[in-house]
A and B are shown apart, each in its own frame.
Chain A
């Protein structure tokens, strides 16, 4: 099938005078979680280098719909790199060749004539819903198992009422930037969610408000990620290299440190 975008419908705006790129896409198509999927080839022409990767997929989908075909399902929400919904595997790299989210990846990162493989995150804990959309609710359940602070409701306390050392607040903030996109799992040769879990354990474990539940949090979150069927971490480092927020490996060490301390202190996971 050939899909050609006609010039008058270009969404490229400022770049419309420039000649667009012609690309071959090989996209994973899978009807639902129960059937086997396969790669299907599509051609997209006159792609502006200023489009985001998702806009390029939108263009493809518009044509597919006009042709009466089933559009490619993919997840997205904010399209500004903060919600973490848009993860797909592009040419074998989580979120593609740039360390950012798919919605913030621009087509200028590709060349005219390129063939681009697009696949869903692959992990048994992330079942494919349809095509490129996967169910990442396993990450939500990890958060539910301990990634929170139980505080009484009421008026918010003054921001400076509880002092936090600058070093800790910086490290906690860095960890808190995790958007739960799942790229770490997707990129990991073991399909481990360790970087995600470690980011939350670090974020809350460094804050004074996180102390009362610190031991229970780490044992329960690790138990839940095992229960969800994620792999075990072997410190390879693909996760951190793929993470759009640059969450570092040191968080994993901190999780391990907390876990060993918690187990020694007698904390055991809720069954």
Chain B
């Protein structure tokens, strides 16, 4: 094999952290967020039980565990875990993104994708959009900062937000991107954690598609119900 002398070799900055370790951080933090999303979608469906029920659910989240622990304890713990997960996930994503950029500084003049899915291609920018969505979503429905009806009850804030078509459109777009993110993410995490093999590959991918579809459909049910006046 031909060898260029080491002076000519562009030896890049050695990766400081093992690239597989970064993937494991991504997989574990992704799964933590995923479990939260499952709880979140179930909670959202309370909206169909009416204003009272939804608002008291929102109250319950804040007071659960009382009197054993002060109110807001459980919620604060969940928030800290999620913040750590988001930061870790984002750190690993950006770090691998930069590593990939360094690994191919000169692009192909012609490059054809043979096998990659649309979902796998949109992980990075899709992830960034999802992150922006999460920030907006918290300002909209948790703090009420950007909500047209910010001081109202949780239920009324939700209805106010989704009565605005732009806000609904952003919500729908971000959720579809999130669904694709999870479709590739679930498969990728299975690989990263070393749990895939030829026999399981089909099952893992079928599960990833079914799971993401059901989850996102669950999330989309709420804005569409507001849009069509089923919830007001």
Contact = CB atoms under 8 A, between A and B. Distances in A.
Interface of A: 26, 28, 33-34, 39, 75, 85, 89, 91-93, 117, 119, 122-125, 127, 129, 133, 135-137, 140, 187, 189-192, 222-223, 225-227, 229-238, 240-242, 248-250, 252-260, 263, 269
Contacts of A238: 113-116
A248 B11 CA distance: 29
A241 B114 contact: yes
B103 A222 contact: no
Contacts of B229: none
Contacts of B143: none
B109 A250 contact: no
A234 B194 CA distance: 13
Contacts of A256: 20, 23-24, 191-194
B74 interface: no
B109 A124 contact: no
B90 to A, nearest CB: 15
A225 to B, nearest CB: 8
10 contacts: A122-B106, A133-B2, A190-B103, A190-B104, A227-B14, A229-B12, A235-B191, A238-B115, A253-B190, A259-B20
Nearest to A224: B14
Interface string B110-141: 11111111001101000000000000000000
B22 A232 contact: yes
B1 A190 contact: no
A35 to B, nearest CB: 11
B213 interface: no
Nearest to B101: A231
A136 B1 contact: yes
Given A124-B102, A256-B192, A93 B109 contact: no
Contacts of B100: 189-192, 231-232
B166 interface: no
Contact of B8 (A33, A253, A258): A33
Interface residues of B, number: 53
A223 B18 contact: yes
Contacts of B187: 235
Given A124-B105, A238-B114, A257 B194 contact: yes
A188 B88 CA distance: 25
A254 B191 CA distance: 8
Contacts of B120: 234-237
Interface string B1-32: 11110001111101100111111100000000
Contact of A235 (B10, B105, B192): B192
Given A192-B19, A250-B201, 12 more contacts: A117-B110, A122-B106, A122-B108, A133-B2, A190-B96, A191-B104, A226-B14, A226-B18, A232-B15, A234-B123, A238-B115, A256-B191
Contacts of B212: none
A238 B112 CA distance: 10
B112 to A, nearest CB: 4
Q: 7 closest pairs, A vs B, by CB? A: A257-B194, A232-B19, A231-B103, A241-B115, A226-B15, A92-B112, A229-B12
A242 B114 CA distance: 8
B14 A237 contact: no
Contacts of A75: 2
Interface string B186-216: 0110111111111001000000000000000
B108 A92 contact: yes
Which one of A28, A236, A238 has the greatest number of beta carbons of chain B within 10 Å? A236
Nearest to A259: B20
Nearest to A90: B110
Contacts of A226: 14-15, 18-19
Given A232-B22, A234-B123, A238-B116, A249 B108 contact: no
Contacts of A125: 103
A263 B106 CA distance: 34
A82 B48 CA distance: 64
A169 to B, nearest CB: 16
Nearest to B13: A229
A231 B9 CA distance: 16
A186 to B, nearest CB: 9
A15 B9 CA distance: 44
A39 B109 contact: yes
Contacts of A258: 194
A43 to B, nearest CB: 18
B103 to A, nearest CB: 4
Given A93-B114, A124-B103, A235-B192, A254 B2 contact: no
Given A189-B100, A232-B96, A135 B3 contact: yes
